[in-house]
Amino acid sequence: MLGSMAYYLGLDAGGTRTECALAQDDTVLARASSGTIKILLASVEDAEKNLDDLLRAISAQSGVALDSIACTCVGLAGISVPRVADWVRQALQARVSGDILLAGDEEIALDAAFSGGAGVLVVAGTGSNLIGRASDGQLIHVGGWGPVLADEGSGSWIGRQAVRTVFDALDRDTTTLLLPKILQAWYLPNVAALIDAANRNPSPDFAALTPIVVEAAQQGDFYAAQVLEQAGHFLGMYAALVVQRVEALEGERAASLEVAFTGSILRQIAPVRDAMFAFIRRELPGIRIRREAVDSVQGALWRARHDRRSQQPAIPY
C-alpha cells in the first residue's frame, strides 16, 4: 500500500557466490548467501537450487513471505549476456512478488558507495573493472575486457602472472617458491607438464592460484610479492585514469570525488590494496579513498528502494 512500510530484496549475483539481503524500508532484516545463479558458470538445475536455497533462507530468517516483496534488484555479473539476464529475471518473477530490476554488479557497488552520486569504484575479484559516475549520471567504464584481454589486478590476472613469473625466473636462472607450489596445486610432475597445462584450451582456473601467490609472498618470495604489487599498481593506474575522466565531466564539483573499492582481491589481500592506494595517492595527491570495502548488496537495496519511490506519486499533505 502506498505510504506503508515496504519490503525490498537485494542480490549481488557474482560468478562464485550470490549474496542476498531483505530490508523493510531502510532496515535490513536478514542476509544469506549461496552459490552462483549465473547460468554460464552453473547448470540451470544448480542455479535454480542455489536461488531456491537463498530465498528460502532469507524468508525464514526475516519471517517475510516472498509474495510481500515490493521490489527486487539484482546486481549481476554478466548482465550483458541476454541468456544470463533473461534467466535471472524469469526465475525471480516466478518466485517473488513486485518489480524486478537488473543492474551490473559494478553498478550496485557504485550505488552502495555513493547512493546515486558521483564517485569512482574499483572492482577486483575473479575479474576486474572500474566504473566512474559524474553528478549528471554519466558513466565511465575502464577495463573489464575479460581474462584474455585484460582484467589486470584480478584473481585471474594474478594467477596467470604467477605462472608467467615462474618462467621468467627460469630464464634468469633463479628460483621462486611459486614453481613447486603451482606444480603441487595443479598436481603436475614437472615444468613440461606445467607448460602443457597453462596452454590448455579451455584454460585452467588461474584465479584459484591466488592464495598460493599470497602464501609465497608471505614466506618472503620476491617474485610472488612482485606479482601482488603489480596487481595493485595496475588497479591504481586505471583508478587514476577514471578519476581524471570523471573530473573532466565534473568541473568545479570534482573536488568532492572519492574512490571506493570492492571485490575479494581488494578486500582480502592487503599488499594489492596498499599498492593501489599508494599509486593513487602518488598520482592524485589529496584524493579521498575509502578504507573499507563497499557492501554491494546495500547498493542493490538502495536501487530497489529508489526505483520504487521514484515511481510513486507524492502524497499530499
* pLDDT (tens digit per residue) in 98-110: 999 999 888 899 9
**pLDDT band at residue 4 using 50, 70 and 90 as cut-offs:** low
Task: Compute the average pLDDT of residues 93-101.
Answer: 97
Q: How high is the pLDDT of residue 105?
A: 85
d(CA 6, CA 25): 6
Report residue 317's pLDDT band, with 50, 70 and 90 as the boundaries: very low
- Tell me which residue has cell 565531466: 249
For the segment 261-266, the average pLDDT, to the nearest whole number, is 94
- Nearest alpha-carbon partner for 163 in 136, 185, 130: 185
Residue 112: what pLDDT? 96
- Any idea what DSSP says for residue 294? -
Residue 119 phi/psi, 5-degree rounding, is 165, 175
Share of the chain above pLDDT 70, in %: 96
User: Is the confidence at residue 189, as pLDDT, over 80?
Assistant: yes
Q: What is the pLDDT of residue 146?
A: 84
Average pLDDT over residues 54-72: 97
Residue 131 has pLDDT above 90, yes or no: yes
Q: Which of 217, 218, 240, 78 is nearest to 161 (CA)?
A: 217
Domain boundaries, the chain: 7-97, 116-293
- CATH superfamily, domain 116-293, is ATPase, nucleotide binding domain (3.30.420.40)
Q: Which residues pair with 130 in a beta bridge?
A: 122, 142
Residue 304 CA to chain centroid, in angstroms? 19
Which band of pLDDT confidence, cut at 50, 70 and 90, is reported for residue 313?
Answer: very low
**pLDDT given for residue 309 in this prediction:** 58
- How many Å apart are CA 241 and CA 75, to the nearest integer? 24
Whether pLDDT at 88 is above 60: yes
Model pLDDT for residues 9-53, shown as the tens digit of each residue: 999 998 788 999 999 998 999 999 999 998 888 899 999 999 999
Give the DSSP letter string of 157-223: HHHHHHHHHHHHHHHTT---THHHHHHHHTT--SHHHHHHHHT-SSPP-GGGGHHHHHHHHHTT-HH
Domains 7-97 and 116-293 are alike in CATH topology: yes
* Mean of pLDDT values over 245-270: 91
The pLDDT tens digits for 203-212 are 999 999 999 9
Domain spanning 7-97, CATH class: alpha beta
Confidence of residue 310 (pLDDT cuts 50, 70, 90): low
Find out whether 122 and 261 touch, Cβ atoms under 8 Å.
yes
* β-strands 258-262, 288-289 pairing: parallel
pLDDT for the residue 5: 80
**Helix (H), strand (E), coil (C) string for 93-142:** HCCCCCEEEEEEHHHHHHHHHHCCCCEEEEEECCCEEEEEECCCCCEEEE
pLDDT value for 235 = 98
For 249, other C-beta atoms within 10 Å of its C-beta total 16
Q: Read off the pTM.
A: 0.84
**For residues 25 and 162, which has the higher predicted lDDT (pLDDT)?**
162
Residue 284 has a pLDDT of 94
| Helix (H) or strand (E) run with residue 19 in it | strand 17-24
What does the pLDDT read at residue 147? Answer: 86
251 Rama class: left (phi>0) / alpha (psi -120 to 50) / beta: left
Q: Is 292 a residue whose pLDDT tops 90?
A: yes
For residue 133, what pLDDT is reported? Answer: 95
Q: What is the pLDDT of residue 308?
A: 64
